[in-house]
Structure 1
């Protein structure tokens, strides 16, 4: 079994939260009930698409969709996403690094975003989608 095999497959978004200064979870950028899919292909390609679960009733000016695709690799407890295309043009050509943890069918990715010059910790939890 290769090191990549544990995360290969399709994952459904369970939660997407920001962490405040004390480490307490707060609502993330996609609201209280986000939905999404994360796909890791065995050949090294990946894609993630996420949106607000309340996109029809969300306040104007809120983020409704986030997504990107590219390649991925595992590296010492981290997954590295090399972004080829993105809903956010500033991400194209960058490498997004996430700490990862797998417990059964739950994959937790921890990363940071830079917002108005400050670092915002974020935690995304994904559940494996089993074939029908």
Structure 2
């Protein structure tokens, strides 16, 4: 992508998760923190907002149909299978890399609330790679996160 403005325009829309992997900074071991079949959506709006939803399929249903219910164990397992956040986003170029900053206005991981998560992006046709430049603590290890997204096509006609 030649400019931040072009990168921003290319980001706008809905992206489906293709792969989420993590590589340990100390030994290069690769894992899939949300399993090998992780699912998710990443949405960038023209107004400058981002919404990210990631989940590991397979969380068991709650024993109670009450959306506000769930045992402590059920709530724990559901939380371990899901990450969600939204807020504003901005782009900048640094040392030839395009960086996206996601501002955590709402987040299922409370430690990120009010922070900004900075990631390196690479856009190629209808594919988006988002990577951590610096390792992030996950599962007790500092790891680099690598996420691959595919641009979703609308099934609706525009008005």
Measured against the shorter chain, the TM-score band is 0.7 to 0.9
More helix by share: 2
**Structure 1, unpaired ranges of 5+:** none
Listed one character per residue, the Cα deviations across residues 30-57 of structure 1 (whole Å, up to 9, x for unaligned) are 1111000000001111100010023349
Match status 1:96 vs 2:113: no
**Structure 2, unpaired ranges of 5+:** 62-73
Quote the Cα distance in structure 2 between the aligned partners of 1:87 and 1:16. Answer: 18
* Inter-CA distance 53–117: structure 2 relative to 1 (3 Å threshold): closer
Quote the Cα distance in structure 1 between the aligned partners of 2:122 and 2:129. Answer: 5
1:25 aligns with one of 21, 27, 30: 30
Quote the Cα distance in structure 2 between the aligned partners of 1:116 and 1:37. Answer: 23
Please tell me the root mean square deviation across aligned C-alpha atoms, in Å. Answer: 2.2
Mean alpha-carbon deviation: is it higher for 111-120 or for 45-54? 111-120
The 5 A counterparts of 1:74-85 are 74-76=91-93, 77-85=98-106
- Give the length in aligned residue pairs: 129
2:90: which partner in 1?
A: 73
Quote the Cα distance in structure 2 between the aligned partners of 1:14 and 1:5. Answer: 21
1:87: which partner in 2?
A: 108
Structure 1-normalised TM-score? 0.87
2:41 aligns with one of 15, 37, 42: 37
CA contact (8 A) 1:33 1:54 kept: no
Higher gyration radius (CA) = 2
Structure 2-normalised TM-score? 0.73
More strand by share: 1
